[in-house]
Chain A
Amino acid sequence: MSNITQAEAIEKALSNRVRPKKASALSACLTFSGRMLLRIKYVPEQLFDITMFPIIHLLMFTYLFGGAIAGSTATYLQFVLPGILVMTVVMITMYTGIELNNDIKKGIFDRFRTLPIWNPSVLVGALMVDLVRYLIASTIMLVLGYILGFRAEAGFGGILLGLAILLLFAFSVSWIWTTLSMIMRSEKSLMAASMMILFPVTFVSNVFVAPETMPRWLEAFVGVNPVSFLVRAVRGFMEGTPDYQAVLWVSIISLGLIIIFAPLTMYLYKRK
């Protein structure tokens, strides 16, 4: 292409001064979701956590503890699957923060911040794709569970209700990690901080054993642990004995997390 025609092409491109209507919040969210999906297309390895975690967790805990805790792995699987499902998805939420912590250092965020868009759409769009990731992880675990002999007594409907409350909680918890990812300067420190929170709240819960078997002080902690409420809610839905008290608590906690951490994340994002 000669210089003259290039100059003409540039002039022509510049003479087009169309100013479209501002992108709607939903459209901006979807564009950011599309960006995350494209990144998965180029780096499919980032699906490793959501495919391998569910498989390893389910096999490991079922066959490691099953005989000792419940007498047989088949009985234990029936009890433990909803719990491990919760634990796995809640743990995967951590990667939301790590991805963002990495991403936000890139130059493209300067451009995003100078665009006339609904500011939270950058994060909401990414979290929408994360919901899909959580859903894939859950599906993988449930399919493997069914192969190993797990049966949800409430059937497909119960599973869907269980997944709905699980995803609500996972979405809300993600805002804690987005907040931390704005504060922490390195991926390593963020990982350490997330682990420090996640390990106790997922293990010291009713995921693996019934709380009645624990010392009273520990039972008290497990009783108020939000993860325990979530496990009760998911188990209830899947077993066909919905625990509405737990569902209510999980909903309240989820809303509370969003109300506190979503604005906090945005405040930090704007100042960063």
Chain B
Amino acid sequence: MDMNAISRSVAKLARLELSEEEVTTFSDQLKQVLTYIDQLQSVPESSLGAPLYHPLELPTLLREDQAKTPQLDSEGRPSMLSAASQTDGLIGTAYKVPPIL
């Protein structure tokens, strides 16, 4: 298992830029985590119960299907726009982001 390659792949998926030194550091740490997981894998399945998907043993709450009227700010624009970058964050009422295509 090429730990350095795995570290680079995870970093790429997380949009992180790693130096070669960092790749080595994290590869060592990652290896320890994976070794620990291997240890868990060696526990016989028959000794385990059903997988735990959530620590609370409660079912989810449900909401009735009622829609709220959209919130507007004092200028009559969608109120969520205040969360956009104040300098170059909007085009009309859409969020402006670097070109995708």
Q: Check if A and B associate.
A: no
